[in-house]
Amino acid sequence: MKAKMTLHKEFSIGETDKRLYGSFIEHLGRAVYTGIYEPGHPQADESGFRNDVAALVKELDVTVVRYPGGNFVSGYNWEDGVGPQDTRPVRLDLAWSAKESNCFGTNEFAAWAKKVNTEVMMAVNLGTRGSREAGNLVEYCNFSGGTYYSDLRHSHGAADPHGIKLWCLGNEMDGPWQICHRTAEEYGRIALETAKIMKWTDPSIELAACGSSFIRMPGFGDWEKTVLDHVYEYADYISLHTYFADRENDVPNFLGRSLEMDRFIKIVAGICDLVKAKKNSKKTVNLSFDEWNVWYHSNEADRKIEKWTQAPPLLEDVYTMADALAAGCMLITLLKNADRVKIACLAQLVNVIAPIMTRQSGGAWRQTIFYPFMDASRYGRGTALRCPVSVDKYDSREFCDIPYLEAVGIYNSFKNEINIFAVNRNLQEEINLAAEIAGFGDIHFTEHRALRNADLNACNTVLQENVKPEVLPGGRLDGKAGAKQLEINLPPASWNLIRMSVK
């Protein structure tokens, strides 16, 4: 199959915000306990943080990590997780029917984030709690000292403020599964009053209000409009969440789901702008896609897990080659909307629907979805370029006109690099891609790396990495400086990173 693409320096979508390469750690399953934190593990440092896991997180170059939930946050008392560990209460976590020991909390997470060079995105509880407690947490984390909560932090051994800039006003408050779920009116009101207190406490912070939990929620659209009507002037972002599933074992349809994700982004951006126009506001609210991934493999196993245990093995999806392609399509979709999506969190980071898995007292390994994320995070910084593609399309069970090739270009002017990310959705045939690359000066081919496996169900284990990137022979670059033609073959069912340098 043949495809054509144009890549021009001036066809800019926008600058990629570095926070597009974020992730998520929730008090859920083994994300925290026996995931990032396991005192006594041979690889644990003096704080109990696993060095093997930290090294993998650094490989991904994760720029921001959302914490402590997720559904968990809607029942969480942040005060339970600070102060001397032996006095912290064990609580029932009603979101996941588990026991929470609270051995790990805000200060431990801030210290771990520092260790792995990432920023914290902190969520506040707008389920069982409200505005005052959220404001107190901002004071605890960000105020230097001389007030009740900042001095409390000092007394807990954290002299320096954590300086947390990014905050979520609750989590998925539109979902009936949420602890103390709210109507759009109720949530809009509490989000506004909470936002005021939080920003009065620290005017430098940014806030993400809850959008719909996914595009197929019955209230989608109305929810965003009502919430933004209330909170527009205080919110900097509205959140979007999406999880893909392939329960029918229909990979062509599964890979078409990113078209819906694209539509989701465009509709939410439109609603933000509608409210902006209605309010005659100068400010633009952007998007925080703070939960995205594939999630369905573990659903059955999770139903059998015993309730009220500590750190039960919940949501431990084992990802396949097909899932890596789906994750690749999602990453490209986020980059193609880099003008509006400023934050994105792969949900989650360790053990729970995660790119990194661990064994308690044992090793850590990379799942298949690790690699597209790693490539995008390392080589997807700079200007996202609209690259029109001409390729055959197909229809699937739920979607029409799915292009066989999904692609985006990135120009990094500091590193003098042009990188293309591409997914070949054709499961049988390779794509022979001819790209016109113009406006850059002289370009040289650096490398072509691909993730592929003829078995779309192939996955990685602690013992064996069956799905990992390989360097392919490369492409041909012809033409003169300023107008080059790239010809390259993309294997069937593959994620591709094509790297070029600009001289």
Residues marked active site are found at 172, 291
**Per CB under 6 A, which of residues 129..168 are in contact with ligand AHR?**
none
Residue among 172, 193, 202, 406 that touches ligand AHR (CB under 6 A): 172
* Closest CB to ligand AHR among residues 9, 66: 66
Task: Please name the residue ranges forming H helices in 347-468.
Answer: 370-379
Question: Could you give the 3-state DSSP secondary structure of residue 183?
Answer: coil
Question: Are the beta carbons of 333 and 265 closer than 8 angstroms?
Answer: yes
What does the angle CA 31 – CA 36 – CA 38 come to, to the nearest 5 degrees? 105
Shortest Cβ contact with ligand AHR: which residue?
70
Q: Which of 99, 104, 91 is nearest to 37 (CA)?
A: 104
- State which residue, 107 or 239, has the beta carbon closest to ligand AHR: 239
Backbone angles phi, psi at 153, to 5 degrees: -60, -45
Instruction: Identify whether the C-beta of residue 54 lies closer than 8 Å to the C-beta of residue 377.
Output: no
Per CB under 6 A, does 351 bind ligand AHR?
no
Q: Which residues, including other chains, have CB under 8 Å from residue 439's CB and lie 6 or more apart?
A: 8, 9, 10, 482
How far apart are alpha carbons 22 and 16 in whole angstroms? 12
In whole angstroms, the minimum distance from the beta carbon of 89 to ligand AHR comes to 22
Residue 306: CB atoms within 10 Å: 8
- C-alpha span between 324 and 494 (Å, rounded): 9
Task: Please identify, using beta-carbon distances, which residue of 64 and 391 lies nearer to ligand AHR.
Answer: 64
The residue among 199, 222, 212, 266 whose CA lies nearest residue 242 is 212
| Listed ranges 63-71, 145-153, 378-386, 415-423: which one lies at the site for ligand AHR (CB under 6 A) | 63-71
DSSP code, position 265: H
212 scored as a contact of ligand AHR (CB under 6 A): no
The radius of gyration computed from the CA coordinates of the chain, to the nearest angstrom, equals 23
Report yes or no: 289 and 345 within 8 Å, Cβ to Cβ: yes
DSSP bridge partners of 393: 403
Contact pattern for ligand AHR over residues 8 through 47, marking x by CB under 6 A: ------------------x---------------------
Answer for which of 106, 171, 351, 424 binds ligand AHR (CB under 6 A) is 171
Site for ligand AHR in 275-294 (CB under 6 A): 291
Q: Which of 212, 226, 348, 368 binds ligand AHR (CB under 6 A)?
A: 348
Nearer to ligand AHR, 106 or 293 (CB): 293
Determine which residue in the list 16, 23, 34, 71 makes contact with ligand AHR, applying CB under 6 A: 71
The rounded distance, in Å, linking the Cα atoms of 12 and 410 is 9
The least CB distance from residue 69 to ligand AHR, in Å, is: 5
Decide whether 106 or 201 has the Cβ nearer to ligand AHR: 106
Nearer to ligand AHR, 5 or 73 (CB): 73
Cα–Cα distance list, 386 to 284, 340, 389 (Å): 22, 14, 9
- Angle (CA) 138-92-180 rounded to 5° is 60
Stretch that binds ligand AHR, among 67-75, 78-86, 185-193, 364-372 (CB under 6 A): 67-75
Report the residue number, 53 or 123, with the smaller CB distance to ligand AHR: 123
Distance of CA 247 to the CA centre of its chain: 22
Amino acid letter for position 19: R
If binding is defined by CB under 6 A, does position 69 make contact with ligand AHR?
A: yes
> What is the distance between the alpha carbons of residues 192 and 198, in angstroms, rounded to a whole number?
10
Number of residues that bind ligand AHR (CB under 6 A): 9
- Provide, rounded to whole angstroms, the least separation between the CB of residue 80 and ligand AHR: 18
Rounded to a whole number of angstroms, the minimum distance from the CB of residue 325 to ligand AHR is 21
Q: Which is nearer to ligand AHR, 347 or 472 (CB)?
A: 347
Kindly state the smallest distance separating residue 237's Cβ from ligand AHR, in Å. 16
Taking the complex as a whole, the smallest distance from the CB of residue 197 to ligand AHR amounts, in Å, to 23
* Among 66-74, 230-238, 316-324, 469-477, the segment contacting ligand AHR (CB under 6 A): 66-74
Position among 35, 70, 127, 355 found at the interface with ligand AHR (CB under 6 A):
70
**CA 147 → CA 130, 142, 215, 277, 427, distances in Å?**
20, 11, 43, 40, 61
Report the candidate in 155, 145, 16, 184 with the shortest Cα–Cα distance to residue 87: 155
Q: Determine, following the binding rule CB under 6 A, whether residue 93 of this chain makes contact with ligand AHR.
A: no
CB of 173 to ligand AHR, least distance (A): 10
Q: Where are the alpha helices (DSSP H) in 241-369?
A: 251-278, 299-303, 321-336
Site string for ligand AHR, 408-427 (x = CB under 6 A): --------------------
Question: Which residues bind to ligand AHR, rule: CB under 6 A?
Answer: 26, 69-71, 171-172, 291, 347-348
